Amino acid sequence: MQGIDLLLWPVQKGFDQGWNRFAALYPPMLRASLLRPWRTLLVVALITGAAAALIPTLGTELVPQFSQGEFAFDLELPAGTPLQATQTVTTQIENQLKGDRRIRVFFSSVGESPELGSARTQRRDNVAQISIALAHPGDRKEEAAVIESVRGLLAQYPDLRTTFRRPTYFSFQTPVEVLVYGHDLEEMRDYSTKLVAEMRAIPGLRDLRTSIEEGTPEVQILFDRDRVASLGLDLESIARGLRSKIRGDVATRLKERDRQLDIVVRTADARGLTTDDVRNVVISSHDGVPVPLSSVAEVRVGEGPAQITRDSQQRVAVISADLAGRDLGTVMREVRSLLQRVPPPATLSAALGGQNEEVAVSFKSLLLAGALAIFMVYMCMASEFESFLHPLVIMLAVPLGLVGVVLALAATGTSVSIVVLIGVILLVGIVVNNAIVLIEYVNQLRKEGRTKLEALLEAGPIRLRPILMTTITTVLGLVPMALGIGEGAEIRTPMAIGVIGGLSLATLLTLIVIPTVYSLVDRKA
């Protein structure tokens, strides 16, 4: 025990010296504040105004981005690339990843890739995905280095489009999305392409892509309806005959255990048909003369949409992007400004989507929860104090705590997120404790016969030590969380920073401001 005492003695001595200095300064500060209350309130108003001015500069995001040692790259080759070619490129990339000892395991899927970060998938011959898990998931610097290394590797393939993804547990939406609504696919493609080019100039946006950027090569058949009618034919019978000759018909189904396999019957040379062969397909006969397809229709090679996305029964082009180094709120403000500078044509409309919508809904819900928490805390104190005035004075600690939260977030460059707002709700119940301890003792002294000023001057120094010790122990308990140590620390750190800042400032101001306000609003001497 003596060894432990020797180790803690310097800490104890330093704490005692600091405590004695603060304890000596506090009584004259409290007396000066009580004698000049309006000057004190003016200083508090200036601090509050400075915090309010900092609010627009704070970034916003749904949840902080955090590293888990796992990520993936979506790969997309030009439309029309056969599945075998996609497989070849993916295999080449895998072979180059094998020698990296920083990678614990990786795997790929060809012909299938997640669409917009949801559970749905898009199946195309020209898409693939490579998923990577690191050997040291807690090393953020190593993870960033591996990501940049893989990006450099993928950049060696000029025709390859890549999209970086992390596992998402709190949202199914990509961070940034712009939804372009309309009916004309060509017009939507042109405007989406223009927006993507403009958005590339916004710092912090990476992996920009649009859902209708490229079409899929296809053979298009344009019928001459007048010619078809003059030959006594109809489009339904022609289409049915073409499908039978080109794709074949399902003659029957073979049941194999729990599966049913289609047995398709078609001509032997259907697989190797060229465009000219399609033009020469006989669709009928007229007066004993074969009628080829080219006599009633134009056959050409064109591009069709790779997919047609709908939202609320409307066609929509989804422009999506990931974030790198910037918060969601700041980037979305710039995107909103871009839409005002580059408005869509009259036949189209544009709206913001992605995590922006989730942020608005989540923040609204948490603000409602915070207001409910304030109301419940106030009603609890009102019933305990048997007064509506004194609990109102105590509740002044809540806005003082919010000022501390804003200053702490601004000083550390932390964005406002759901995690921070949860910390604010917790703070509502924490910051009032010190004010309760102080005001309760003031009321006790007044019942014993002290005047209002005497009770305030006596209660402050007596309650100073328990108030500070309560705050210090809480803050020290949050320090390891605020330091961001360990895996997933990014999700915990903002809450700790907000609570530490709010509780620290609220405690210091509570010791001065709460007695000052009490002296003004309580009319009894």
Cα radius of gyration (the chain): 35
Contacts of 439 (CB under 8 A, 6+ apart): 385, 390, 393, 394, 514, 518
Task: Find tokens 């009894």 and name the residue.
Answer: 524
Instruction: Give the pLDDT confidence score for residue 403 in this predicted structure.
Output: 92
Location of structure tokens 């928490």 = 373
Non-local CB neighbours of 393 within 8 Å, separated by 6+ positions: 435, 439, 514, 517, 518, 521, 522
- Of the pLDDT bands very low, low, confident and very high (cuts 50, 70, 90), residue 120 is very low
Domains of the chain: 2-63+359-521 (1.20.1640.10), 69-165 (3.30.70.1430), 216-305 (3.30.2090.10)
Count of CB atoms situated within 10 Å of the CB of 106? 17
Mean pLDDT within 125-146: 83
Q: Kindly report, residue by residue over 331-385, the tens digit of the pLDDT.
A: 888 888 998 888 888 888 888 887 877 888 888 888 899 899 889 988 988 888 8
Q: In Å, how far are 61, 151, 335, 469 from 201, measured between CA atoms? A: 21, 20, 10, 51
Look at residue 409 in the predicted model and tell me its pLDDT: 92
Q: Measured between alpha carbons, how far is 394 from 521 in angstroms, rounded to an integer?
A: 12
Cα 110–115–121 angle (5° rounding)? 55
Rounded Cα–Cα distance for residues 462 and 437 (Å): 11
Note the pLDDT of residue 2: 55
pLDDT, one tens digit per residue, over 280-328 is 777 777 677 788 878 888 888 777 666 677 877 788 888 888 887 788 8
Dihedral, 50, 55, 58, 64 alpha carbons, nearest 10: 120
What band does 520 get if pLDDT is binned at 50, 70 and 90? confident
Do the beta carbons of residue 443 and residue 390 sit within 8 Å?
A: yes
DSSP 8-state secondary structure symbol assigned to residue 355 = H
Give yes or no for residue 119 having a pLDDT over 50.
Answer: no
Tell me the torsion sign for CA atoms 313, 317, 323, 327: negative
Lowest mean pLDDT among 87-91, 208-212, 368-372, 505-509: 208-212
Higher pLDDT, 170 or 81: 81
The predicted structure's pLDDT at residue 254: 80
Distance of CA 415 to the CA centre of its chain: 12
- For residue 385 the two structure tokens come to 């104090």
DSSP assignment of 60-102: B-SS-----SEEEEEEEPPTT--HHHHHHHHHHHHHHHTT-TT
pLDDT at 499: 93
Contact 126, 161 (CB under 8 A): no
Nearest CA among 11, 134, 159, 19 for reference residue 69? 134
Q: How far is 53 from 410, CA to CA, in rounded Å?
A: 11
pLDDT (tens digit per residue) in 375-423: 998 898 888 888 888 888 888 888 889 999 999 999 988 888 888 999 9
452 with 446: CB under 8 angstroms? yes
428-445 mean pLDDT: 88
pLDDT at 180 over 80: yes
What is the predicted pLDDT for the residue at 42? 92
Q: Please identify which residue in the block is written with the tokens 């996609």.
A: 86
CB contact at 8 A, 164 and 207: yes
What angle separates helix 489-521 from helix 37-54, to the nearest 10 degrees?
A: 150
What is the distance between the alpha carbons of residues 521 and 511, in angstroms, rounded to a whole number? 17
The average pLDDT across 227-253 equals 80
Local structure of 335: helix, strand or coil: helix
3-state secondary structure 285-297: EECCEEEEHHHCE
Phi, psi at residue 98, to the nearest 5°?
-60, -30
pLDDT in tens, 152-165: 888 888 888 888 87
Strand-pair partners of 309: 316
Quote the Cα angle for 477-480-483, to 5°.
135
Note the pLDDT of residue 117: 41
Task: Quote the pLDDT of residue 4.
Answer: 59
- Segment 493-512 shows an average pLDDT of 90
β-strand pairing of 289-292 with 297-305:
unpaired
Q: What pLDDT is recorded for position 405?
A: 93
Return mean pLDDT, the chain.
82
Nearest residue to 424 via CA among 324, 499, 486: 499
Q: What angle do CA 365, 481, 372 make, to 5 degrees?
A: 25
Confidence grade of residue 151 (pLDDT, cut at 50, 70, 90): confident
Listed residue (250, 234, 219) closest to 283, CA to CA: 234
- For residue 19, give every residue at least 6 positions away whose Cβ sits within 8 Å of its Cβ, in sequence order, or none: 465, 468
pLDDT of residue 118: 40
pLDDT band at 184 (very low <50, low <70, confident <90, very high): confident
**302 phi, psi to nearest 5 deg:** -135, -165
pLDDT at 414: 86
Q: How far is residue 503's CA from residue 510's CA, in Å, rounded to a whole number?
A: 10
Residues 266, 270, 271, 276: what is their CA dihedral angle, to the nearest 10 degrees?
-160
| Cα→Cα distances 465→26, 461, 511, Å | 11, 8, 11
Q: Which of 517, 514, 394 is nearest to 460 (CA)?
A: 514
* Predicted pLDDT at 170: 59
3-state secondary structure of 324: coil
